[in-house]
Amino acid sequence: MSIIEVSGLCRDFEYYEKTEGLGASLKNLVNRKKLVKRAVSDVSFSIDEGATVGFLGPNGAGKTTTLKMLSGIMHPSGGEARVIGHVPWQRKKDFRMQISIVMGQRSQLWPDLPALESFDLNREIYEIDRRAYRETLDELVALFGIEEQLPVQVRRLSLGERMKMEIVASLLHRPRVLFLDEPTIGLDLLSQRSIRDLLKGLRQRFGTTVMLTSHYLSDIEDLCERIILINHGAIVYDGPLARVNDALSDRKTVSLVLSDDSGGPSLAGYPEFRGMEGLTARFEVERKDVRAFSRRVLDELPVADLTIEDVPIEEGIARLYSAGARP
C-alpha cells in the first residue's frame, strides 16, 4: 500500500536579473527583468508503507525542495501529492501529527537547554499522553544509548550526539513517515555508522516509512533497497539499488600500485586508463579482458601490487546523473 504518492510535482522560483554597476542598479529600480528557475520538474513516484527509500542527486538537483513540499513546508507550483492520504501543503493537524522531518543543517532543539527540555516541549506540541511519552522516550534512549547526554546542554554535545537527539525528538510522537535530509552531514565515520545502525531498527521497531537524502553512498547502501535519482529537478532513475550498476556489470576496476613513477608518462597510452593518484593508477577493463590486461601491465610496467574490483556503485550513479543532465 502506497503511503506517499506524487504525480507531476513542480516547483518554480522567481527572481530578478541583477547586473553590475550603479547604472544597472538604478535601472533595476524602474525596470527589472523577472527570471524563473524550475527547481523540481514533473516528479512522479510512490512509496509503500514501511519502506526506506534513498532520494539522491547532486547539489541543486531539487532534493530538499521536494522534501519540503512533501512535508508541507512549501507549496508546489504544479502537480499533486498525497502523504498518508493528505495533501501536505494543506498542513492539516492529522497530517502534521503523523510525519516528521529532520534536516541535518538545521536544528529543532534549543541549544542552551538540555535536549530533555525540547523533548518535553514536543510532547506538548504533539499532545502525547505522558505515559505513552515516557514509554517511547525510554525505548528511544535505550536504543540510541543517550541516557548520559540527556541533562547536557545541546550546544555542548558533539555533532553525532546532537544528531541522535534530533532524530529522537522527531520520533517521540511515533510518526508514520520520517523525512531525513542529510542526517549524517559533517559526521565522522564512526558517528555516521552509529546513526545508520539506529535507523536500521526504525522499520522493525516502529514500522516507520523513511525517505532519506544523503551524499554519503555508505548511508544509501546500508539502509536502502530502492533509490530515486533526481538531476536538474527531474527523475533520472527509480528502482532497486542493486540494478544501478547493471550497465557496468561486465566491467572491472584494476588498480595498480607502481614501485616508481617511471611508467607514469606511458599510462596515457592505455585506452583503459582512468586516472592516477600518487603511485596508484586506475583502469576500467572489460571483464573478459582482465586476465590478458593484467599480464600485459605486469610485463610492461613497474607494478608493486595489483587489485581487481567491481566498478564502484558511485560510478553507476554518476553516469545516471550524466545521462539525465541537460545539455
The CATH number for 141's domain is 3.40.50.300
319 within a domain of the structure (yes/no): no
- Per-residue pLDDT tens over the stretch 100-156: 999 877 788 999 999 999 999 999 999 999 999 999 999 888 888 889 999 999 999
Q: How many domains does the chain have?
A: 2
Record the pTM. Answer: 0.76
Which residues, listed in sequence order, are joined to residue 133 by a DSSP beta bridge?
A: none
Residues 254 and 150 in one domain: no
Q: What is the DSSP string of 135-151?
A: HHHHHHHHHHT-GGGTT
**Which of these three, 189, 209, 243, is where a domain ends?**
243
C-alpha cell at 109: 532543539
3 state DSSP class of 209: strand
Q: Are residues 255 and 237 in the same domain?
A: no
Q: Cell for 161?
A: 550526539
Same domain, 238 and 283: no
Q: What angle do CA 13, 58, 36 make, to 5 degrees?
A: 15
C-alpha cell at 86: 493528505
Residues 223 and 287 in one domain: no
Cell of 178: 520520517
Q: Are residues 81 and 123 in the same domain?
A: yes
Q: How far is CA 116 from the centre of its chain?
A: 28
Q: Which domain holds residue 304?
A: 246-310
pLDDT tens-place string over residues 259-293: 877 655 578 788 888 888 888 888 888 888 888 88
